Amino acid sequence: MAFRNVLVADRGAVRTLTVNRPDKLNALNRETLGELTLAFAQAAQDDAVRAVVLAGAGDKAFVAGADISEMNGLTPAQAQAFSRAGQRLMTSIERLGKPVVARIQGFALGGGMELAMACHLRIASEKARFGQPEVNLGLIPGFGGTQRLARLAGRAAALELCLLGTPIDAARAAVLGVVTRVVAPEALDETVAQVADQLAASAPLAMAGILNAVLQGGEAGIDVGLEFETQGFALAFATDDMREGTGAFLEKRKATFHGR
């Protein structure tokens, strides 16, 4: 279906979802949150989609944050519903079962940084800027920023970024572990495409197992996490993809995975 604020494009097994509100620096309003939630649900259900790229329209911003003009008039109850809608989207991305790559070319602030952190890999232009500036509005992050930032970068970094509200550049974000890779602006599209193509050609069930073990098992104690890993490892042996992958290795050829 067509969306007003999200563009959907397929290239082979890679689906690109682009937040398309460049006049608002791709700010997230309630309508856009709903469209993104539906778009990711569709990608999850489409077996032809092996990897997803999440981008923002224009050169200035990935997503500059939540739409402050809409937030300004919210009641506490409406704000709670807005926060929960944002958190549902972020959780659905994180638990999609397929790898999601964020293409970050400009500002990723507030809700935009939270959106990027929900993705599994984050590739940023050297010109990208990151931050959780909600404190400057008399607010706290509402789409998971306090939680995912602490898990990605540690408590000290989360407190620094959330309490000071000062943006950081891509290089600092990479040092903190917020960004997977930083590239020159002119290399961003090529790098994202190469990573997405590699993911799309990989074994879908194995990638789903890795995502589950890291994201779900990683939230538990080490013994429970190791059990997540063992169960996922054993389940992989029931798949055609495992036989294809090991057979291709022994036969010195490239594997072709079908997600079975």
The full DSSP string for 225-254 is HHHHHHHHHHHHTTSHHHHHHHHHHHTTS-
Q: Is residue 111 part of a domain?
A: yes
- Residue 123 in this model has a pLDDT that exceeds 90: yes
Q: What is the average pLDDT score of the chain?
A: 94
Same domain, residue pair 94 and 37 = yes
Backbone angles phi, psi at 153, to 5 degrees: -115, -10
In the set 114, 186, 190, 251, the catalytic residue is 114
Name the burial class of residue 34, with classes exposed (0-12), middle (13-18) and buried (19+) by CB atoms within 10 angstroms of its CB. Answer: middle
Q: What is the pLDDT of residue 244?
A: 86
Same domain, residue pair 161 and 234 = no
Same domain, residue pair 101 and 185 = yes
Same domain, residue pair 77 and 98 = yes
In the set 31, 35, 94, 134, the catalytic residue is 134
CA dist list (Å): 258 to 30, 49, 169, 253: 37, 12, 39, 16
Beta bridge partners of 101: 53, 121
Q: Closest Cα partner for 210 from 88, 99, 119?
A: 99
Q: Closest Cα partner for 39 from 82, 75, 3?
A: 3
Question: Domain holding 221: CATH number?
Answer: 1.10.12
The answer to whether 134 is a known catalytic residue is yes
Q: Is residue 232 part of a domain?
A: yes
Same domain, residue pair 83 and 27 = yes
Q: What is the pLDDT of residue 187?
A: 98
Among 32-46, 145-159, 225-239, which is the least confidently predicted range?
225-239
- Residue 1 in this model has a pLDDT that exceeds 80: no
- Residue 115 in this model has a pLDDT that exceeds 70: yes
Q: Is residue 174 part of a domain?
A: yes
Same domain, residue pair 122 and 229 = no
Which pTM value belongs to this model?
Answer: 0.93
Same domain, residue pair 214 and 113 = no
> What's the domain range around 224?
203-250
The answer to whether 114 is a known catalytic residue is yes
Q: Is residue 258 part of a domain?
A: no
Q: Is residue 259 part of a domain?
A: no
Burial 123-132 (b: 16+ CB within 10 A, else e): bbbebbbbbb
Name the burial class of residue 75, with classes exposed (0-12), middle (13-18) and buried (19+) by CB atoms within 10 angstroms of its CB. Answer: exposed
Among 100-104, 190-194, 212-216, which is the least confidently predicted range?
212-216
* Residue 216 confidence class, pLDDT cut points 50, 70, 90: confident
Same domain, residue pair 36 and 165 = yes
- Residue 126 in this model has a pLDDT that exceeds 80: yes
Among 180-189, 197-206, 212-221, which is the least confidently predicted range?
212-221
The helix/strand/coil state of 221 is coil
Q: Is residue 195 part of a domain?
A: yes
- Residue 118 in this model has a pLDDT that exceeds 70: yes
* Residue 98 confidence class, pLDDT cut points 50, 70, 90: very high
Q: What is the pLDDT of residue 239?
A: 93
